[in-house]
Structure 1
């Protein structure tokens, strides 16, 4: 019998949403969590807005030692992993740790701590030869992103495959896709997987300022993220994490687990062309969608909802609109498409997993989240983007897509358990 991978637990930390329930409540409300950056003085920067998490590690259940040792991104991942395990009802004492693994995605790793500690050891940048005697003992962990996956593996006692995926803004999709592959091929029965990023730091803001990828709409942070809108002018930086318990279907059924969704198909592609450039015909993303649908044995007409990358940059939204049309054909015009980045910003590597969480919850609740701030439709983006308000709709098959700098394109098909090919 073919092995299948299903989501049995969800844990989320997102801007203005500590936990899965508050995350979903935010999405269906159509409210935004974007605001002026508060972590540092953003005045010198072109883009001064972000979607920040209201997060206290001690209040979230981490110890003083954990909060000192771990970067904010690792803290997010561990807290989300705890929620997903609790949600799944999985008893770790009754599962084989060698059949339990971890895959975590992150675009920029422990950026906040690495930048903070560089400022300390360089005396605010005054010293070219830094003084390592002022460094914290955990400085090496901040350099090596795999430390995040290690922290989650320690938390869940995983002695099977453990890895970190870093493919820019597709990391969250790619990490869950990789975890599903490990389950299907038989390397693990349980995978704790997802993604995390906490990139709201001066160095990250400066990097995106340099290429003018983020919005300069600083006078109205709440409406700064405008995917598919004619007035869009860049994305809003965000942060957060989403972590899942992914199980082999029969393993989950034997213990009576609640099944949110099956990871039915996944594919990733690269354009081998340009760091940030995307072709307007959408051919790169369309190829990833085609392969993901084929692996799911799903016809384009079966897709009930497309969770868009929808970053709010001019070229991405055009590229993605063309890719959906190329992939779904005429059915694209009958399929709701929306971008949750309009509400929680773009958390780089984490966003793909946050979007998977949104897809699973849309399936669970029969509601499609909206694209906030979409008031002036762009004539070049002429699909149904669910503007402003959530929409009730039965959702059995969802397509979630991601696009990342470097030419990365990923697509995932999630399906209601019990439907589709066995």
Structure 2
């Protein structure tokens, strides 16, 4: 018998207030966390704003050796996983190591450390032939993104399945889905599943400057990202992590732990069309939505809220609007849709897991986060995008969708435990 998968623990490292509680208060408060980049001098770049995490590894209990070894993204993942385990009422001594697994999503891996180490071995780019004598002994870890999953597994003592999923901006959604499948198939009893990215670095900013995907509104950072707004000009780069404890629903109930939500269905598609371009009809995302609902055995009109990709680019917002209409039919006009990227930015591979966390919390609190900075709706984006203020309403089923460079389109359906039998 296929097992049903519950989310019983949530850990978050995101811009704004710390931890999962701080994250939820930040996104439902609707006040963007954007500011001029502080981690390096951004003066030479077109887009100079970001949603940075005020992160103190000492406060989170990371040892000096861990801080020296781990990239910033790995530190985020480990801290989020620790919070998720504690939130799920699990001690390391409670876990059967070989029945505990890890799946982490990341789009750009250990970018901060890789760029830093290249600057050192090349003398800030002056040397065409680098000098390896100056390289950190941990440089191989930064080259291999799977080191993020390994760090989480080491910290939790998890000896079961462990992997890294890297599918661009859908990495977080896809990693949670992979962890769900492992639980369903009986490959593990507990999965730590989520994603982490720390992409705020010169190389990443330069890449998005080149294609003009990020917002150039540097003089007004707070309002730089405006999903679904007619004046929008691009997304704001973010960073962070979210990790979830996934386990069999019956097992969770047996041990009396709080269940945030049940993961009911998932699907992904690729448009096989363009590296960064999207077809305006949203057909591939719509196909993912329909397949996820089919797996969940939930009708389109059973969805109460759509947690949107909502990046704030003209192309994406119109594509996604079309996909939601195509995937949900007339019901699309009767339910709220919102983008938390308007508050915490776009943390690339991490954001999908962060959005799954927000979806589970929306179910748990019967509260829909708002789309910040939405004051001038685009006529082509004509759904209910919950502008500016959070909305109290019954939320029993959430559809969370993601879209990534390369044509990746993913959709996940979550519900209140027991809502659909």
- Output the TM-score relative to the length of structure 2: 0.99
1:248 is aligned to 248
1:18-417 matches, cutoff 5 A: 18-417=18-417
C-alpha separation between the residues in 2 aligned to 1:282 and 1:94?
45
Moved more, 197-206 or 53-62: 53-62
C-alpha separation between the residues in 2 aligned to 1:402 and 1:59?
32
C-alpha separation between the residues in 1 aligned to 2:59 and 2:249?
34
C-alpha separation between the residues in 1 aligned to 2:25 and 2:83?
17
CA shift at 1:256, angstroms?
1.0
C-alpha separation between the residues in 1 aligned to 2:173 and 2:266?
9
C-alpha separation between the residues in 2 aligned to 1:257 and 1:38?
40
Q: What's the C-alpha RMSD, in Å, of the aligned pairs?
A: 0.7
C-alpha separation between the residues in 2 aligned to 1:100 and 1:82?
14
1:4-19 matches, cutoff 5 A: 4-19=4-19
CA shift at 1:91, angstroms?
3.3
C-alpha separation between the residues in 1 aligned to 2:368 and 2:337?
9
- Output the TM-score relative to the length of structure 1: 0.99
The Cα offsets for residues 277-328 of structure 1, whole Å up to 9 and x where unpaired, read as 1111110100000100000000000000000000000010000000000011
1:169 aligned counterpart, secondary structure: coil
CA shift at 1:95, angstroms?
3.1
C-alpha separation between the residues in 2 aligned to 1:25 and 1:165?
29
2:109 aligned counterpart, secondary structure: coil
The Cα offsets for residues 233-279 of structure 1, whole Å up to 9 and x where unpaired, read as 11100000000000011221221111000110011110111001111
Gaps of 5+ in 2: none
The alignment covers a number of residue pairs equal to 421
Gaps of 5+ in 1: none
C-alpha separation between the residues in 2 aligned to 1:270 and 1:117?
34
C-alpha separation between the residues in 2 aligned to 1:349 and 1:343?
17
CA shift at 1:18, angstroms?
1.5
C-alpha separation between the residues in 2 aligned to 1:251 and 1:118?
47
C-alpha separation between the residues in 2 aligned to 1:386 and 1:153?
38
